[in-house]
Amino acid sequence: MTETTAHAATESVQEFAARAREWLAENMPRLDPANPPLAGRGDDAAWQRARELQQLLYSGGFAGICFPREYGGLGLDPAYQRAFDIEVAQYEMPLILNVPTFTICAATLLDTGSEEQKHQRISAVLRGEEVLVQLLSEPSGGSDLAGLITRAERDGDTWVIHGAKTWSTSAFAADYGLLLVRTDPTVPKHEGLTMFLVPINSPGVELRRIEQVDGSNDFCTEFFDGLRLGDDAVVGEVNGGWAVASRLLFHERRAVGQGSEFASGRGRERSEESTGDLVALARSVGAADDPLVQDKVGRVLARRMVRDRLVEHVSGAMRDGSLPPAAGSIIRLFHSDVTFLEVDTATEIAGGFGVVEGEEQLLGVGERYLSRQTVALGGGSNEMARNVIGERVLGLPREYAADRGVPFNEVRHNRL
C-alpha cells in the first residue's frame, strides 16, 4: 500500500475531498469553455489523452476510488467517489474510460475474474495502460444475447474461436475485450456459454469500424477466424458464461443509468452533456423569454433532479440488499426516458437551426437527435428492461419462450 492510499483509507469524506481539491488545482488541466477537450469517442487522439489523464490520476493517488486496494484502487466507500466527482467538475478528466472500461468490464472482472486477471487487468486500466471493451452482440442476434452463434471448440490445450460480433463500443481503441461464445451447443442456450478475455490484437481477430448516420464511427464489428486462446483466458467457468454475462449486464445497466460507483468523474454518457445547456440554447435562438419554452426546460430540469435522486435511492437499496441486483434496470429505464425528453426538448427549441451547417452548437442538437435511440438499447432494449423489472423485481410471471429448455442445436435458426 502506498502512503497516499494509506492516507485515503483513514480520512473522512470531507478530508478526502479537501485533499482532492488541492491536488486537482495543482495537477489536472482545467476545462476551457472556449477550447473544449477532445470529445469524440472515435478520435484516436482523445483516447491517448484519456490514458495520459488516467496516468495522472493514478500517480496522484486518485484512481479507482472504489476498486479494492489489492488491485490498484483505494478501496473506499462510494461516498468518497461522489465527493470526488463534485471536485472534478471543472477539470479535464478521462471520462471516455468510464464506459465500458471502468464501470462495466473492470467491474465485471472484479466480480467474476480470476485473481490473476484481476491483478493484471484491473491494475493496468487504473494505471491508464489498458482499455477494456465488451464483445457481446452479433450481426444476426438482435436482443437475444443468449442465442449467439460465435463458437469456441477445443483443440488440445487451446480453444479455437470462429464467428463475429458487432456494435462493440470503442473496440478499435481497446487492448482486451470480454468475449461471450458458445462452447456447448448440446444444452439449452444459457447453459453452453463461456466468457473469454481476448487480446484485441491477437492473430485471428479482424476489426472494422462502423460508420453511423450521425458521422461517428466509434462502434466496431469484429470477425474471429481461428482465434486461439488458452484456459487462462476463461473468465469464470467453462459453460458458466451466462453467469458472467448476467453480472456484466448488471454493471452495464447501472453504468447507463448513472448508478455505478466505479465511474471516475461525471461521464459524458450523461445526456445533458450531449444536448448542451437548454437555457443557453433557448437564448441562442431568441426563445429564452417564451413561456412555453421555459416550461419545457423546467420539465427537463425537474426530471433530471428526480433521476439523480432515483439513482441514489436504487443504488443504495441494491447495496444494502433491500432491492435485488435486477433493480439496476429501473435507473437504466428512467435514464432512457429522461434522455428522450432532453433530446426532444433541445430539438424543439433549436427548430430548423438544428440542421443548419455553420451553427456549430445548434447543428450538434440535430446530430444528437440522429443517435437519440441508442440510449434505449445500451444494457438491453427498453422493452427488455421492463421485462426484467416486471419479472425479477416485481415477481410477475415470465414471458413464454419457445426455446426455453431446448438444446441449442435443436433450435431453429434463421429458417422459415
In the predicted model, is pLDDT for residue 237 greater than 60? Answer: yes
pLDDT mean across residues, the chain? 89
Question: What number is the average pLDDT over the span 397-412?
Answer: 88
Its pTM stands at: 0.87
Find the radius of gyration of the CA atoms of the chain.
22
- What is the C-alpha to C-alpha distance for residues 274 and 251, in angstroms, rounded to an integer? 22
In this prediction, residue 44 carries a pLDDT of 87
Q: 328, 314 in Cβ contact below 8 A? A: yes
- What is the C-alpha to C-alpha distance for residues 254 and 86, in angstroms, rounded to an integer? 19
Pick the residue with more confidence: 238 or 403? 238
- What is the C-alpha to C-alpha distance for residues 109 and 229, in angstroms, rounded to an integer? 18
- Give 83: exposed, middle or buried? Use CB within 10 Å, 0-12, 13-18, 19+: buried
Distance of CA 63 to CAs 101, 251, 297, Å? 13, 19, 36
In the predicted model, is pLDDT for residue 390 greater than 50? Answer: yes
In the predicted model, is pLDDT for residue 246 greater than 80? Answer: yes
In the predicted model, is pLDDT for residue 403 greater than 80? Answer: yes
Pick the residue with more confidence: 22 or 141? 22
- What is the C-alpha to C-alpha distance for residues 145 and 147, in angstroms, rounded to an integer? 5
- What is the C-alpha to C-alpha distance for residues 69 and 5, in angstroms, rounded to an integer? 8
In the predicted model, is pLDDT for residue 253 greater than 90? Answer: no
Angle at 294 between CA 289 and CA 300, to 5 degrees: 155
Question: What pLDDT, in 10s, does the model give residues 24-62?
Answer: 999 999 987 666 665 567 788 899 999 999 999 999 999
Q: Which residue has the cell 458464461?
A: 241
Question: What pLDDT, in 10s, does the model give residues 59-79?
Answer: 999 999 999 999 999 999 999
The 8-class DSSP code of residue 93 comes to: -
Question: What number is the average pLDDT over the span 350-363?
Answer: 75
Angle at 160 between CA 155 and CA 165, to 5 degrees: 160
Question: Within 13 A of 381's CA, how many CA atoms are on the CB side?
Answer: 8
Question: What pLDDT, in 10s, does the model give residues 162-221?
Answer: 999 999 999 999 999 999 999 999 999 999 999 999 999 999 999 999 998 878 888 999
Distance of CA 109 to CAs 66, 117, 160, 234, Å? 14, 7, 22, 11
Q: Which residue has the cell 445497466?
A: 253
Tell me the pLDDT band of 416, cut-offs 50, 70 and 90: very low
Q: Which residue has the cell 426538448?
A: 345
- Domains of the chain with CATH codes: 3-131 (1.10.540.10), 134-246 (2.40.110.10), 270-393 (1.20.140.10)
Tell me the pLDDT band of 271, cut-offs 50, 70 and 90: very low
- Sequential DSSP letters for 286-328: T-TT-HHHHHHHHHHHHHHHHHHHHHHHHHHHHHHTSS-GGGH
First to last CA, the chain: 61
In this prediction, residue 163 carries a pLDDT of 97
pLDDT > 70: what percent of the chain? 91
In this prediction, residue 144 carries a pLDDT of 85
